[in-house]
Amino acid sequence: MLRYLIGGESHGPALTGIIEGFPANVGIDINEINRDLARRQHGHGRGGRMKIETDKVRFLSGLRGGKTLGSPITFLIENKDYENWSDYMDPCQVDRETKKVTAPRPGHADLAGSIKYNFDDIRNVLERSSARETATRVAIGGIIRQFLKNFGITAACHVIHIGGISSNARVPSADDLKKAELSPVRVADSAAEKQIIELIDRTREDGDSLGGVFEIVITGVPVGLGSYVQWDRKLDARLAYALQSIQGIKGVAFGRGFDCACQKGSEVQDEIYYSQEKGYYRRTNNAGGIEGGMSNGQTIVIRCAMKPIPTLYKPLQTVDIRTKQPCTATVERSDICAVPAAAVVGEAVALTVIGEELLRKLGGDSMEEVRLRWKQWQSR
């Protein structure tokens, strides 16, 4: 069983991760992981923090000479901004008053978290609830991506719309996905890209924020990951659970998603065909590659809706948790729009679930053993 834990605060010394159950003898290129971390940091609309951090992964255990050992993989990503925050975020001794936060932001974990954990300082909440922690999830996804490519499983992502401005590349080709990768807002449609950049700039001037929708496309997934036999084994359920845990995500849909509710069954179901050359195949993919909680061999297509970031430079009304008097919400350094970055996080998170399910299906302590079981499965 593959599992992982992540830790760290936004302005603490470092972010950390532990992966257990990963097979031995998997080649890992640290440069590919750092490339994914850089992808997460890019995007028009990001805040000043991205000018400080240049995320790099540092392995502490579980690798030797670029290959996994089968033992727990531990790593850290240093927070370079910590040197500016060490007086307030040192794990053992801090100035608790200077950076104290008592005005919760609407839409953030601030108020509920401070009540749940009995804090009089919201900084204890916002440091961990911050989306900064997603860097660790991108690193984990980067490790699992390199495992999955041995089986021809790959993933990409692109933005569908931001702030109501939509891309025309609604069913993206491979060229569209490559074009989106080069776009500062991860959009394959150059006309929409220009409009979105202008909208982000205007929104920044207004002190506001923007949300949007991104899509993850995973190819090469074989038939039969997940299961129908128990509710918590269904692949779409596990993917939705993982993706919904990304900060700001308010909706997850597969294939045609909510559009299916407006169509007849004959317009939605993907008819099945067979030929000697192709085997079983479909001419449509309205299900998004998952039927009955299992992968059906088609491309897995997932869309995620992200709400606007709750930190606003023209803050909303709130109540001070100390005085219980009306005030304006805390303003922390923040992004204007993080949808392009969230798409990269979503891609990594989805790949992690696929990796978990592949290992659940195949098992094996070493890469050689997993490959042997893969060949047996594919021949069947």
**108-145 confidence digits (pLDDT tens):** 999 999 999 999 999 999 999 999 999 999 999 999 99
Torsion of the alpha carbons at 37, 39, 42 and 44, rounded to the nearest 10: -150
Confidence tier at 30 by pLDDT (50, 70, 90): very high
Number of structural domains the chain divides into: 1
**Which strands, in side-by-side order, build the sheet including 57-61?**
3-7, 14-20, 73-78, 57-61
Output the six-digit token pair for 336: 């204007």
Q: Is 366 helix (H, G, I), strand (E, B) or coil?
A: strand
User: Which pLDDT does position 49 carry in this prediction?
Assistant: 61
pTM above 0.85, yes or no: yes
Whole-number CA gyration radius for the chain: 22
pLDDT tens, residue by residue, 176-205? 999 999 999 999 999 999 999 999 999 999
pLDDT over 80 (residue 52): no
What is the average pLDDT across 240-265? 96
Between CA 380 and CA 377 the distance in angstroms is: 5
CA 20 to chain centre: 20
User: Which pLDDT does position 13 carry in this prediction?
Assistant: 96
What is the average pLDDT across 39-68? 87
Output the six-digit token pair for 267: 């317009």
What is the average pLDDT across 85-89? 93
Between CA 134 and CA 335 the distance in angstroms is: 14
Between CA 259 and CA 73 the distance in angstroms is: 41
DSSP 16-32: EEEEESPPBS-B--HHH
Torsion of the alpha carbons at 175, 193, 254 and 6, rounded to the nearest 10: 100
Are the beta carbons of 108 and 310 closer than 8 angstroms? yes
Largest Cα–Cα separation, the chain: 74
Output the six-digit token pair for 153: 């499983």
pLDDT over 90 (residue 363): yes
Q: Residue 232 is part of a domain; what is its CATH number?
A: 3.60.150.10
The closest of 58, 61, 64 to 76, measured between CA atoms, is 58
The closest of 106, 43, 66 to 330, measured between CA atoms, is 106
User: Which pLDDT does position 109 carry in this prediction?
Assistant: 96
Encoded amino acid at 6, one letter? I
pLDDT over 80 (residue 376): yes
Are the beta carbons of 176 and 169 closer than 8 angstroms? yes
Encoded amino acid at 318, one letter? T
- 310: containing domain: 3-379
Between CA 299 and CA 283 the distance in angstroms is: 12
